[in-house]
Amino acid sequence: MIIYDNDQTAVKLILQLSGSVFPKALFPAITAAVMTFGLGFEKVSSSWIPLEIQHPFSVQIFAIILGYVIVFRTNMALGRYREGMTNIQQMISKWGDAFVEIGSFITVSMEKAKDKNQVDLLEELRRRLIHWFTLLSAVAMISLNDGEVDLDQSFIIQRMRSSAASSKGLTIDRISSSRQSFVLEPVGPTDLPTMKLPIIGRCTDAEKSALADRNDKVLVVAGWITEEITRACLDGLLLIPEPILSRCYQELSNGMLGYNQAFKVALVPFPFPFAQMVALLLVVFLLILPMMVLRMTQSAVLSPILSFFCLLGYWGLNEIAVELENPFGDDDNDLPLKHVHTAFVDAVRDCAEGLPTESSSTVEDGPPLEGVSREMTVLKEELERLGVPVSRHFPMNSDIRMLAKMSKNEMRNKFKSAEVASRMHRRVGQLVRGDEIPPPVFIPPPPAL
């Protein structure tokens, strides 16, 4: 795809040859101008120009019909181009959503795991999914480009290793701090040669054997991902309810729908009879245009110029349609599949490396909050004395007047304790009324019998 500055001057825009259709339309336009110039040396009554042509009405009708047909073809070609772009965006977006969802499910399951072996299995699961998601996108892009997938030559491999800093706190007693992150190291050149795409992790011999001689490699890799997620669910590794986990399957399916819709555009060309008829009409127009322009203008100088630009416009619009009809490939005006895939790999890397640790989300470890009211500080201290977990505390930026509108039942549902709900409901009322709050009285537990 050509990235250009639309605010540049018209002269620079016209003179840019990269991605331009001018070179393809220039030869027919010059041919028409030369024919007009050659006919201009003869007299108007020469046998080269039929005397019966006294009015350009018939040629005008022909030119109008040809112009309508070319514009119609260009409009359909632009529709195919936009459809391809939309489907590619849907494919990458939905696969990205599926990866984010399953990645978050794995992270939460690692936090709730009860032994280190389960954490290691979940980490290995995430490694495989990172590799397969990037492989899925790469195989899809190469297939859309009508290329042959070579698992040894088609990819730029990026290594994947666990971050040592993130695994220091991994202990059996503190599994909740076991969120793993990955440092992905690029291997090989960073530039992108023709459809040599980056993936994370090398393809194993088993993967190469499984993908060999497969017609739909994209569907095969998607099947691997689905099977691996299903196996992890049935083995009890993913501690996520099945209805919620099914969202991953749905997003994978939506991504496959986008791929197949894009593949439809790449597989089905523009109708041949339409393209054939347009080509014939353009050739006929090239032959009759010089005679009609010369007959109507009767100028040896102006006639070649008019013929040149008329045919340049008609032929150029048709070449634009030809460029846009197949939006996939390596031409200058094709969709940037390599860059879209590279952005997807970068997004996967960001998600894998950017997992927060538990300490970064704990309120006590951060700086004191600004603008916290005295009432909320009192409520926080009271909840801490009652032994209420931090996750059930009121947000520190809450409005005490809004908390006063909560009923005892709502507080009971929040704190999971009728006694705590009763005390907090009474304390919130005191704070709203501005009553003096007596210091808490420590009541020792009764002696053991």
Q: For residue range 22-32, list pLDDT tens digits in order.
A: 888 899 999 98
- CA–CA gap between residue 190 and residue 55 (Å, rounded): 64
Task: Kindly state whether residues 392 and 279 are assigned to the same domain.
Answer: no
Pairing of strands 182-186, 155-162: antiparallel
Residue where one domain finishes, among candidates 292, 319, 353: 353
How far apart CA 107 and CA 103 sit, in angstroms, is: 6
**Same domain assignment for residues 346 and 298:** yes
pLDDT in tens, 339-394: 899 899 988 888 877 554 443 333 333 444 444 577 888 888 888 888 888 777 88
Kindly state whether residues 238 and 381 are assigned to the same domain: no
Predicted confidence (pLDDT) at residue 236 exceeds the cutoff of 80 = yes
Same domain, 274 and 145: yes
> Looking at the structure, do residues 310 and 425 belong to the same domain, yes or no?
no
Average pLDDT, the chain: 78
User: Quick count: other Cβ atoms within 10 Å of Cβ 171?
Assistant: 10
Confidence of residue 158 (pLDDT cuts 50, 70, 90): low
Residue 383 CB coordination number (10 Å):
20
Phi, psi angle pair for 198, to nearest 5°: -80, 140
- 161-215, pLDDT tens digit by residue? 444 333 333 332 322 333 333 334 443 334 444 457 888 888 888 888 888 888 8
Q: Are residues 263 and 383 in the same domain?
A: no
- Within this chain, do residues 422 and 273 fall inside the same structural domain, yes or no? no
User: Taking a C-beta distance cutoff of 8 angstroms, is the pair 194, 337 a contact?
Assistant: no
pLDDT in tens, 102-126: 988 998 888 888 788 888 898 899 8
Q: Are residues 325 and 217 in the same domain?
A: yes
Most confident of 139-148, 259-268, 396-405: 259-268
Count of CB atoms situated within 10 Å of the CB of 386:
14
The predicted model gives 12-17 an average pLDDT of 79
pLDDT at position 297: 80
| pLDDT at site 159 | 59
Q: Which of 51, 4, 84, 39 is nearest to 325 (CA)?
A: 84
Which range has the worst mean pLDDT, 288-292, 309-313, 347-351, 442-446?
442-446
CA dist., res. 335 & res. 333, Å (int): 7
| The pLDDT value given to residue 193 | 42
Considering the domain boundaries, does residue 22 fall inside one? yes
**308 and 388 in one domain?**
no
Burial 434-448 (b: 16+ CB within 10 A, else e): eeeeeeeeeeeeeee
| Any domain includes 5 | no
Residue 396 sits in which domain range?
371-432
Is-above-0.75 flag for pTM? no
CA atoms of 371 and 102, how far apart (whole Å) = 37
Q: Is 440 part of a structural domain of the chain? A: no
Q: Is the dihedral of CA 130, 135, 138, 140 positive or negative?
A: negative
* Span 276-304, pLDDT tens digits: 999 999 999 998 888 888 877 877 788 88
| Residues 280, 251 share a domain | yes
Indicate whether 306 and 258 sit together in one domain.
yes
Nearest C-alpha neighbor of 108 from the set 391, 358, 362, 364: 358
Distance from the first to the final alpha carbon of the chain: 83
Cα–Cα dist 292/229, whole Å: 70
Distance CA 52, CA 407 (A): 97
On the question of pLDDT at 36 being above 60, the answer is: yes
Q: Residue 268: inside a domain, yes or no?
A: yes
* Amino acid letter for position 156: I
Distance CA 204, CA 227 (A): 17
Q: Which residue from 277, 128, 270, 256 is spatially nearest to 204, judged by alpha carbons?
A: 128
- The amino acid at 305: I
Pairing of strands 155-162, 197-200: parallel
- Whether 2 is covered by a domain: the verdict is no
- Mark out the alpha helices in 181-241 (DSSP H runs): 205-211, 217-234
306 touches 249 (CB < 8 A): no
pLDDT, position 116: 84
Q: Are residues 421 and 298 both part of a single domain?
A: no
pLDDT of residue 263: 92
- Residue 426 included in any domain: yes
* Residue 114 maps to a domain: yes
pLDDT, residue 366, reads: 40
pLDDT band at 395 (very low <50, low <70, confident <90, very high): confident
What contacts 183, CB < 8 A, 6 or more positions away?
Answer: 160, 161, 162, 163, 353
pLDDT (average), residues 49-57:
61
Quote the number of domains for the chain. 2
At which of 353, 387, 408 does a domain end? Answer: 353
Size of the chain, expressed as the number of residues it contains = 449
Q: How far is CA 438 from CA 132, 231, 390, 426, in A?
A: 62, 58, 24, 13
Query: Is 389 inside a domain boundary?
Result: yes
